[in-house]
Each structure stands twice: as C-alpha cells, then as structure tokens.
Structure 1
Amino acid sequence: MSSPRGQFSSRIGFILAASGSAVGLGNIWGFPTNAAENGGGAFVLVYFLLAFCLAYPALMAELIIGRHTRANMVSALQIISPGKTTRLLGKLTGFYGIIVAALILSFYSIVAGWMLAYLLEPMVSLSGLPGLANWLTEFSAPRNLLFCAIFLIVTCAVISAGVEHGIEKWSCRLMPALLAMMIFLIVYVLTQPGAVDGLKLYLIPDFSRIGDPKLILSALGQAFFSLSLGVGTMLIYGSYLRPDDNLPAMGAIVTALDSSVAFLAGLLVLPAMFVARHQGVEIYTPQGALMAGPDLIFQTLPALFKTMAGGTVVALLFFTLLSIAALTSSISMLEVPVSYTLEQHVASRPMATWLSGAIVFAISAVIVMNFDTLFAAVVTLTTHYSQPLLGLMLCVFATWVWRRDRVLEEIRRGLPDVQHSLFWRIWPGYAKFCCPALILLVLAQSLMN
C-alpha cells in the first residue's frame, strides 16, 4: 500500500511553499536576463499583463483540480474526466506533465549546481586554495555532475521528509531568508554609482517593442516557468490544501508574491549590471546587446563583486540567494514524479523520492555530456512550448471537460458565496475561451516568426 497523502498545516505554509515553487531561478536569474534581452521596461510590462491575464487563470485551474481530486497529475485528470476518450487524454497529458517536470528539473539542477560552486568559490579563495577556486568557476563536466548531484541530494532530503515536515517546514524557513537577503542586496546596489542607468532601462518601457513576437513569447514562457505552471506542481500543492481554504485568494496571493519577487530581482540585477559598467566591467556583447543568461550571472556580476568594498560578502549573499531560490523550486518539481510513484506504485515516500531523484540525475548527466547540443534545446522545448501547452490543457480540463457545477462546488468549500463574486463572473468563461485562444495565438505567432 502506498504512503498516506500529506497536507499543509496552515494557509501561510501553503502560501510560502507555493510561492517558493514559483520564486526560483526563473525569477531571480531568468526574469532579469529576459528583461535585459527584451528591452527592459517593455518586457516587464508585458510580463505583468501575461502573469495576471494568462498565468493566474491557469494557476487556478491547477489548484481547483488538485484540491478536488487529491491525487497526482495523471490520476487527477482522469478523475474529472467523464468519458473514455477524455480519461485517455487526461492520462497522456498527466504523463507528459511528469516528463516535462523531470526535464525541467534536470537542466535546473545543472544550473543550481553552478550556483553552489560559485557560492563556495569566495570561501575557498579566502582559504588560500586558488587551484580549487578556479576549478569551481571553470565550466567542466566533472564540476557540473558533482554539484548537480549535491543539489539533487539536498532536494531529495527535503522531499523525503514529507509535506508538513519537509516541503512546508523548509519553505517557511527559506522564503523569509530569501526575501531578507534580496532586499538587503537591492539597497546596497542602488547606493552604488551607475545604478540609476540600470533603473532607467528597467523601469521606462520602450513601447515600440511591446508587439515584438520574441518579447511576447519570452514573457509568456517566463510567466508559466516562474509560476511552475503546466507540469502539475501547483496541482499537487493544491491537492495538499485543506478543504476550507479560499482558493481564489490563495492563487492571487501566490501570483502577486511571485510577480513581486521577479520585479525585485530586476531591481537587483539590472542596476548591478550598470554599476559593473561604471567599475569598468563589460556588460555588452560584441553585437551591442546587454549581457544575459550565464554570462551575466557567472561573469559580469562576479567581476563586479571583486571591485566592490565588501565584495566577498556580497558575492556570498548573492549566490546564497540564488541557491535558496533554486531549492524552493526544485522541491516542488521533484514532488511531481514523487507523488505519482507514491500513489500508483508500492513505495514509501523515501523510496519514491530517491528513485525519482536518481532518474532526474541520469537525465542531467546526459545533458551535461552533450551540453552544447541538448541544454538550450531542452530549455526551449520545456519552458517556451511545453509549459504553455500543458497550461492550456489544464484550462481545457477544468472548464470544458469537468462539469461547471462540480467546479463551483469545489470552490464553495472555502468560499461559500463565490457564485456572487467577481472571480466567478469572470474566471470560468475567461479560462474556457480566452486563455486557450491567447496561448495558441502567441505560440502560433512564435512558430511563424
């Protein structure tokens, strides 16, 4: 018999866990670098529009299905499906969600391993071990595999402890620490010469770029990736909610907190880039574009930290911040295959966790050994295309497949007068027609361009 399902012990526990899932490298690394690549303020504006117009309705679909079924993604979509065909489609969609979650975690763990290596580098340098310090910051397969494995071991250790004593307990510890470090670093960076130029780029939109298909697709992928949508993480977290929790309010809080942390990350990273420029660090590529992606995080900013007073402490805080953000997200992604293994097969939670972690590490190892060919391809396939498509499918299941009266009944458990609320007047029709149409439109436009 499988292990009993867990449950969040409090609303704040769920909010911090779900926000921790949403607040990851997608916010603190991905959001600022996407903004840098796509016109700064124009990207920020489009991102916020898509986060609330597309990502929030899709998040609500996951939470509602999850709490009603109290099951993994594969079982949940079959439970709400009335016919044989829709049950088969639900099963296939659920399996695809698990595969995409595993693929995301596989590349995510590689990047998180880089964060751990860069976190250790200042301490190793101070210890007088320059050879080891250089190895930690040089790209190599052995380094990537070692720190990817370490990161996945930490993730598995948290997940194996269960929902309340693992996921919730550590989310309640890590999220406040993350926010405190971020605010401290923002205040510090904004007091440095050159920061104002970065603020201007970040906060003043170039409206001529708002209709750029590349910008829109990037913002859509960012919204779904940063909120951990489409792959079942929020569906599973919803399945651990208490029956009397107010789902629309919970979803709104998580979306707002995630978007706010993404915005704060931009306030940290983009001004820091221009502080680096003021210190003589190159922040533009040979083609004239702002540095983004790994070059920004692992070259530009470390070079900046070395020129700053107290730079070693700042570097430690920055990479600790990134490592915490990575862990809070990886916890939720690993829970997707773990919950399926727990509920569909005879396995204890520790066994399901370590087995799932080993499979993810095997995928990561294949990517590491074929990095130039696979890494960018896996990132694009999962975050730019698969997550929005899976989010679309979850909206379809929640509004087209599942009976509307059952949906209303489920939301009423935590909000008895929901049928008279603005949410119920808008969400069912919006999630049924507008969300799928808008997601398909954006994806079609991206394919044509």
Structure 2
Amino acid sequence: MAQVRDGFQSRIGFVLAASGAAVGLGNIWGFPTQAANHGGGAFLLVYFIVIFLLALPALYTELYLGHQAQANPVKALSSAWQDTSPKVGAAAGYIGLFGAIVMLSFYSIVAGWMLAYALEPIASFFGLAKLSDFLHSDSMARNFVFTPLMLILTASIILKGVKSGIETWSRRLMPLLLVLLVALIAYIATLDGAMDGFAAYLVPDFSQIFDANLIIAAMGQAFFSLSLGVGCMMVYGSYLKPDANLPKLTGTVALLDTGVAFLAGLLIIPAIFVAQHNGVEVFSNGKLVGEGQLIFAILPELFSTMGQVGLLVGLLFFVLMSIASVTSTISSTEIPVAFLVENHSIERKQATLFVTLVVFVASSLIILNFDWLFGLVIMVLTQYQLPLMGLFYFITVGWLWKRGNKLHQVSSGPHYWFAQYIRFVCPLLMTAVFVNVALLK
C-alpha cells in the first residue's frame, strides 16, 4: 500500500526547519574556527561574496530539484536526468546519501561533545568532581556514551515525521537558539579583550582576500553551513506545497543562516580574545590552539576564569550548541530515511532505526581511528564533495534537465537572466576556484 507523503504545513515551519538544517555546528562551531584561522575579517568578506555568488544559487537549485520532483534525491536526480542517463542522476543521488551518512557520522560525535559540555556545569555546581572530569575528558568512553545519546535524540524526532517531528521541533528550538546567541554576545561584549576580537573579526585585511586556500575554505564553509550537496535541501524542498514561492523562501533561509553565522563569529571570536586577555593560550604559530576543537580547547578555560557566573555562561553556551546540533542532525537523518521510505516502501520507524544503526557504526569507526580519520572526513566532505555536488546541481538544472524544468521555458525577465547565471556563471566560478587550488598544490 502506498504511503501518504508528509510535508510542511506552513511557510514559517519550512523556513525554521530549513534554517535549522543550515544553522548548526557548521555556523557556530565551524564558521568561527575557519574565520579565526583565515584572516578574520578577510574570511568574513569572502564568505559573504561566496554566499551571494554561489551558495544562494546552489540552495535554490537544490530546493528546486526536490520541489519539482516531490521526491528524495535519488528519485529527483534520476528524473532530472531522464533524457540523458537516469542512472547517472541516481548515482549522484546515492553519493549524496553517502555524504549524508558521513556527515552524520562525525556530526553526531561533535554533537555528543556539546551535550557532555552542557551537562558539565551542572555536575560542577553539585560538586560531582569525577563526573565533571569525565564530561570534560577527551576520551573514547565519553564518545561512546554521548554519540548514541545524540543519535537516539535525533531518531525520536525523525520518528514523528515532517509535520509533527521536524517542523514542530524546529519551531521550538530555532527561536530559543537565536535568543541564547544574542544574549551571550551581549554578555561577552562587556568583558575585557572583547573589542580586540570585534576588530579582528570585522576589519578585513584586503591583502588576504585573493588567497586561494581562504577562498576554497570559504566556499566549503558556505556549502557546509547551508547543508548543500548531500540532498538535505532537496528533501526539504520536496516537502513544500506545489504553490510555494521558492525564490522568496530561498532568500529567507539563506539570510537567516548567514545572519546566524555572522552572529556566531560575533560571539566566538571576541570570546577567544577575552580568553587570551585572561591568560589562556589561544594562538600557536598563527593558528588557533585546538583548531577543530577550538571551543573545547579554549572556551571552557575562559568560563573557568569567570568564577560562579562562568558555570551559568558555560551551561547556556553549550545548551545553545546542543540545540544547533539537533536542528542539523534531524535534517541529515531525514535524507536516507526518506529514501528508504519512498524507494523501498519501508515504514518510517524501521527506516529511522536502520539509518541510526548505520550512522552509529560509521561514527564508531571514526571514534576508534579518531586521530587520522576525523579531520580527513571533514576535509573531504566540506572542501570537495559538497562544492562538487553543488557544481553537479548547476549542470543538471542549467543544461541537462529539460522536461518539467521551468527555468528552460522562460525567455525574458529576471528568471531568464537567473537561469543564464546558473547555466554559465556558477559552473565557471566554481571550476575556476578548484583549478586555482589544484595549481597551487
């Protein structure tokens, strides 16, 4: 018996869910780290340019593919390539599914860290020293406790479906995330050293903006923070009503996501300089101590210098990070779940449990080989797979998808020029960046 397809019930529900997918650790964990390691203000400027020139059109094309097909990425891309080679389209969809599993495998580990650090101030407040040390420890045991907890929390939301699960919880969590973020920025701004951080973040060094490594890092970060390239936005686009105003929704999601990334930088980078002012070692040879584990290597030490108020600030900060984690893990989990439900007629409960188990196995492999595998997985996914899949979407929508593609039917006006931009400019820009990086390496 065919299953009734779930979907978003309101515009605000979609915007918050899609923004929640985009607004996650990529913004609050990844973006400030990349900005601090790539020139601060210079990275911010290039990031905004990349968002406008490439990530925004890529977000539209991914949403558009899903919206027109009303299907998961494998079906949607197979349909788009029906006149050329449906197997190629389907293969790209499977690559996206694989990317979603890989993203979830490391994302769930980091999300588990957030949950552990959110609980640590509570343990400290009640004098539970051994528990506090365990929650702060960089141990395999802690990873094997908290990674499954985050997977279970994600699965419990996915099990309820799009309307009752994803949309409902996005409407609850996203406003709370924004309130906590703004409140923490206001507090950090009052501390000594924060102004130096604001200057480093907001004043660009124009001599760095043509650095190829900075550009590729900004492009990878833009695609990662918007959850592009693995099919998440394609799935969410497929859950929209047929009469949805896709350009307006695309702009709203991108604006909210970029705004949160900007606010995250306003919080984290000044906090780094506050920590440095308080005697915490922050930079070594021009690079952040801890790099990928920046907020765990530096910010807890900052909170410990604040006395009792540091417990509250630390609690609020890592609750914020935990919320950001969940809003993103639910979107990535929905990709393979939707595929199993629609392509193999598996019930949502069984599909969710199966995907959760597969992700746990993948996460376990990373935990057991953490030193070399964790950074490699993140680098390959963010700097190569996500942008290359974005390039594939541009080529698909701009050149190969004929039947049902309204962008091929317009001959004048703004939609015509946007279609030409997707066909010619976006692929050339992305190819030029990759060629430049390859030549430098």
Q: Aligned letter for 2:171?
A: C
The residue that corresponds to 1:173 in the other structure is 172
Cα 1:404–1:341 shift into 2, 3 Å: closer
Question: Equivalent residue for 1:431?
Answer: 422
Cross-structure match for 1:389: 388
Instruction: Report whether the alignment pairs 1:442 with 2:440.
Output: no
> How many Å separate the matches in 2 of 1:200 and 1:332?
35
Deviation at 1:127, TM superposition (A): 1.9
Tell me the distance in 1 between the aligned counterparts of 2:53 and 2:364. 37
Deviations 1:70-125 (A, max 9, x none): 11101111112233x52111011000000011101100001111111111111111
1-structure distance, mates of 2:270, 2:252: 27
Contact kept, 8 Å, 2:201 with 2:269, in 1: the verdict is yes
Equivalences for residues 342-357 of structure 1 within 5 A: 342-357=341-356
The match for 2:279 is 280
Structure 1 residue 294: deviation in Å?
Answer: 4.0
- Tell me: CA distance 1:408–1:445, structure 2 relative to 1, closer, same or farther (3 Å): closer
Measured against aligned partners, the alpha-carbon deviations of 1:179-213 in whole angstroms (never above 9, x if no partner) come to: 00000000000011111000010000011110111
Scaled by the length of structure 2, what TM-score is found? 0.97
Going from structure 1 to structure 2, the CA distance change for 1:392 and 1:288 (only over 3 Å counts) comes to closer
- Where 2:288 maps in the other structure, the secondary structure is coil
Structure 2 vs 1, CA of residues 216 and 409 (structure 1 numbering), >3 Å: closer, same or farther?
Answer: closer
Q: Secondary structure at the match of 1:271?
A: helix
- Distance, in Å, in 2 between the alignment partners of 1:316 and 1:284 is 25
Distance 2:218 2:434 in 1: 12
Q: Which amino acid aligns with 1:396?
A: I
The Cα shift of 1:409 comes to 8.9
Structure 2: 5+ residue runs without aligned partners? Answer: none
| Contact kept? 2:33, 2:292, Cα under 8 Å | no
Q: Which amino acid aligns with 2:328?
A: S
The answer to whether structure 1 residue 290 and structure 2 residue 288 are counterparts is yes
Mapping 1:125-144, distance limit 5 Å:
125-144=124-143
Q: Structure 2: which amino acid aligns with 1:445?
A: N
- Alpha-carbon separation, structure 2, partners of 1:135 and 1:2: 48
Provide the rounded CA distance (Å) in 2 between the counterparts of 1:316 and 1:238: 35
| Larger mean Cα displacement after TM superposition, 136-145 or 289-298 | 289-298
- AA aligned to 1:91 is A
Aligned residues of 1:202 and 1:267 also touching (Cα < 8 A): yes
Cα deviations by residue, 1:288-344 (Å, 9 ceiling, x for unpaired): 333463442012111111112511110001000111001101111011100100011
Match of 2:304 in 1: 306
Q: 2:323: which partner in 1?
A: 324
RMSD: 1.6
Distance 2:227 2:207 in 1: 30
* 1:357-407 deviation line (CA, Å, top 9, x unaligned): 110110000110011121111111111100001111111111211128732
What amino acid maps onto 2:102 in structure 1? L
Q: Could you say which residue in structure 2 is the equivalent of 1:413?
A: none
| Alignment correspondent of 1:25 | 25
Partners of 1:354 and 1:295 in 2: how far apart?
29
Superposition pairs for residues 205-354 of structure 1, below 5 Å? 205-285=204-284, 287-291=285-289, 293-308=291-306, 310-354=309-353
SS of the residue 1:201 aligns to? helix
Give the Å deviation of 1:421.
5.1
Runs of 4 or more above 6 Å deviation: none
Aligned to 1:61: 61
* Unmatched 5+ stretches in structure 1: 411-417
The amino acid that maps onto 1:153 is: I
Contact 1:2 1:348 in 2 (8 A): no
Q: 2: CA distance between counterparts of 1:333 and 1:114?
A: 18
Identical counterparts, % of pairs: 50
TM-score of the superposed pair, with normalisation by structure 1? 0.95
